[in-house]
Amino acid sequence: MFSPRDRVLNMLLPIELLFAWTLIFQCSSAEYNIPTLIDRTIPEGPTFLTAADFEHADNVSIDFDSLGIKVSDLDDSDLYQGDIVLEEYQKKSRIARSASLKTGKWNTPRIPYELSIQFGKDARAVIAAAIKEFERHTCIRFVKRLPSDADYIYIHAGKDCHSSLGHTGREQRISLGERCLTKGIVIHEIMHALSFIHEQSRPDRDAYVKVNFDAVKDEAKHNFELYTIDRVDLLGVPYSYNSIMHYGSDSFSKDQRPTIIPLKSGAEFMGQRFTLSASDVAQVRRLYGCKNLSPYPEPNFRQLMMEDLKKNQVEFCENANRYCDFNVNCNDMKDYIRCPKTCRKCDPSKMATVEKCDGSSNLVCIMEGRSCSEKDTDLVCPRSCGKCRPDEIPKIEKCERPYLRCVRANCNDYYEAVQCGLTCRTLKCW
């Protein structure tokens, strides 16, 4: 028999479950409304960038962490290859190209565009920053759409990041949600609109990377299709790990294991979303017939990365998840940023000291594989790197009392020599 209390609880349980599911649904489907990024209370409509947007582009900085926004990895949707909207004929013939679409090139470098009026000040500046990269280094020119322009790009304030592939002959959309508002992601989507697709789809891919299909989600394996040489136009540009169109090492991973494993050196910044690489610029210039432009050297991606880390410095130097503890590749951009402790990118002033000079920590850095020649290691490993001051080191021997453990002391080690002063004769007792 149920007590009256039990009967009441049983009556309330379905209501509580319904309330919980309602909360979960609301949280999973809710849209952000951050006016400086996207103000969805404004009715949809077209506008254009202004001179003020391009001026703001030089110093815009969005703190996604404080806004509670996780920047997109461009592989978290069901679209083709994560962020591509295919035309019907492309779906049927799977005509997508890895370098550029032979049939998707715009007729001229003049690209008419419109912009959603819902984009706020900072979002407009980010989009302007991406456009400036193309106009600074290629002959591509984004112009305000005229009434006579039947085919144009409409930059839409969507929920995720995606683009049509190549010139469609009518309005085609680049969708940018809040999670997409970085200069690198906007550049990536514009490259798709210009007819460029992901680097690792090239026919020569297998000479540069190995795809670990065992780690790829079953429903995403088609995203790693390899196209044959008769279906692509490589434009005479070699494969590049640094291309802004290259996947990161764990794209479409089902368990955070690497899905793309580089076979050669130079893949430290594979998956970068900072700016156009030298190979990206070369391909755009060749496809669109750009002439008499200054040489474009490979950007200093390490410097760009460090500048980004300074702007988005972790507040607490902790790994993002347990993945970092056993299967991290610090040469991969995502791992380097996601696993700050393991990859030792922490700001020393915010990083907990691994060792303590007072002997209260049993963890020894050298046994952990650290090297004192590495940047900042001496700050977090003072015991192993000989940076402890004599007054910080506990002295376990006195002149009148030797200590048994000191019989095995390594007197060539500064720390042990101070600890075991009598045995190592660093303690003046005579």
- Residue pLDDT, tens place only, 69-85: 888 888 877 777 777 87
pLDDT at 60 over 80: yes
Which residues are paired to 80 by β-bridges? 84
What percent of the chain stands above pLDDT 90?
45
Q: Active site includes 189?
A: yes
Residues contributing to the annotated binding site for Zn(2+): 188, 192, 198
**pLDDT, average across residues 307-326:** 57
Would strands 171-175 and 209-211 be described as parallel, antiparallel, or unpaired? unpaired
> Per the structure block, which two tokens stand in for 67?
């806004």
Q: 46-295: what CATH class?
A: alpha beta
Could you say which DSSP state residue 398 is in? Answer: B
Please give the pLDDT value at position 81. 77
Please give the pLDDT value at position 126. 98
What percent of the chain stands above pLDDT 70?
72
Please give the pLDDT value at position 322. 54
pTM above 0.85, yes or no: no
Please give the pLDDT value at position 142. 99
**pLDDT, average across residues 350-354:** 48
Q: How confident is residue 267, by pLDDT bands cut at 50, 70 and 90?
A: very high
Is the pLDDT higher at 259 or at 15? 259
Please give the pLDDT value at position 233. 86
Selection from 262, 258, 139, 273 nearest residue 194 by Cα: 139
Give the CA dihedral 339, 344, 345, 346, nearest 10 degrees: 90
Question: 21 CB contacts (<8 Å, ≥6 apart)?
Answer: none
CB 89 within 8 A of CB 95: yes
Is the pLDDT higher at 401 or at 252? 252
**pLDDT, average across residues 19-26:** 37
- Residue pLDDT, tens place only, 248-266: 998 999 887 899 999 999 9
- Residue pLDDT, tens place only, 166-215: 899 999 999 999 999 999 999 999 999 999 989 998 999 999 999 999 99
Which is catalytic among the residues 114, 189, 199, 355?
Answer: 189
Residues contributing to the annotated binding site: 188, 192, 198
Selection from 155, 345, 182 nearest residue 275 by Cα: 182
Selection from 232, 235, 233, 268 nearest residue 249 by Cα: 268
